[in-house]
Amino acid sequence: MSKVPALNKERRFPLNMTSAHELILKAKNGVKGNKTSGRYALPAFNVTTYQGIDAAVGAFETLGSSGVLAFSNSALKHFGYGDAIKGLERVHEYVKLVARDSSVKIATHLDHGDYISEGGRKVLQAAVSTLTSVMADNSTDHKNKKATSLEMNIEATREVVEMAHPLGVSVEGELGVLAGVEDEDTHSEVSTYTDPQELKVFLEKTGCLLLAPTIGTMHGPNKGKPGDVVKLNIELAHECLKIANSINEDIVFVAHGASTLYPQVVEHAMAQLKEMGAISDAANTWRDFVGTDWKQIEGLIGAGFCKINTDTENRQTYLASLLAAIKQGPAKIDIRFFEKATYEGLYKSYMQKLIMAGNYGVWHEPKIDVNSFKFEL
Ligand SMILES: [Zn+2]
């Protein structure tokens, strides 16, 4: 097999934009400005609206954070009113404009791209020529809802690396099957742990520098029953890190399903529902949400998982903020009133996770005192 191309680091992206890998490697090495300190992580925020992009970038700028904006296939379809390629072009132009005036560096990433299905392949190819980073999730055949063979995963991922690396676009692979529901294209009932030996072969043969091994995290808002603590395999994570470092120290891991969920957001939403007389099934659903335990995510960050994907908790914050605004102004005929409420909720939700992950003061000093920041709606 011929050698896989290395990531082209000379590629010039639009102003203030760069590959996700460059930013995530800085986090693995603890680099902030000219200084090196402890390892931190980049929460990759799944954005589905222009407001989501604005709120995330607003939070990056307040804190001087490195930013990853993640777009799933279904989010791109939403942006493009049913056409993912059109959505891709739109968000690319929009983020380019926002980044131009930004004080930080931003990466755009295709979340759960797949090179197995024909439709997925088209989106992935278009993403390679528009975004700065892509995920090639070929561990699952999402259409037929089954795991792919290691050989098939390697072959498909390697093809993506061959296409993306010369353009400076980083590639994230996935190994193992992650349980939970992420969106219409990404769901699985069962989860399997990544086999360290397979990890070695996968990294050597694909040349990808970002990898999501499965170590027990789950997608979606129900990561167990209420009261459960999701158990992650930190020992396996360290074993994987050792192998990855022996191949290439530039390899960084990714944790999917890293939403911790915020109790104050759940309480806030339930209070609104109750006051609106709508407490019943909806409130019970809120009560059943279970996130990933943050202490264990910190354990993963220690093991080189420096991109942590969060989506659910921000969706919850959005809805909780919207419910409060509706309760406050049920007859307010002004879209801006509701938009302002959801923007502020999202902005604070993003800031909270950036601070928890230690991703601040990377490009400039934070504009607020991070130690006294309190996330309240
Ligand atoms: Zn995911």
Q: What is the pLDDT of residues 141-198, one digit of tens each?
A: 877 778 899 999 999 999 999 999 999 999 999 998 877 665 555 555 556 789 999 9
Give distance in angstroms: CA of 52 to centre of ligand 1.
18
Work out the end-to-end distance of the chain between its first and last CA atoms, rounded to an integer number of angstroms.
55
How many other CB atoms are found less than 10 A from the CB of residue 67? Answer: 32
CB 213 within 8 A of CB 253: yes
> Crossing angle for the helix pair 150-164 and 196-206, nearest 10 degrees?
30
Question: Using the 8-state DSSP alphabet, how is residue 340 labeled?
Answer: H
Q: How confident is the model at residue 223 (pLDDT cuts 50, 70, 90)?
A: confident
**Going from the N-terminus, what domains does the chain have, and what CATH number goes with each?**
20-370 (3.20.20.70)
Phi first, then psi: what are they for 170, rounded to 5°?
-75, 155
Q: Quote the pLDDT of residue 184.
A: 56
Least confident of 59-73, 141-155, 199-213, 300-314: 141-155
Give distance in angstroms: CA of 216 to centre of ligand 1.
12
Give the whole-angstrom CA distance, residue 190 versus residue 196: 19
Give the whole-angstrom CA distance, residue 83 versus residue 128: 17
Q: Which residues pair with 71 in a beta bridge?
A: 110
Query: pTM (2 decimals)?
Result: 0.94
Give distance in angstroms: CA of 257 to centre of ligand 1.
6
Per-residue CA distances from 139 to 100, 220, 334 (Å): 36, 18, 46
Give distance in angstroms: CA of 363 to centre of ligand 1.
27
Q: How confident is the model at residue 352 (pLDDT cuts 50, 70, 90)?
A: very high
Give distance in angstroms: CA of 367 to centre of ligand 1.
31
Question: Using the 8-state DSSP alphabet, how is residue 53 labeled?
Answer: H
Give distance in angstroms: CA of 369 to centre of ligand 1.
32
Q: Quote the pLDDT of residue 270.
A: 86
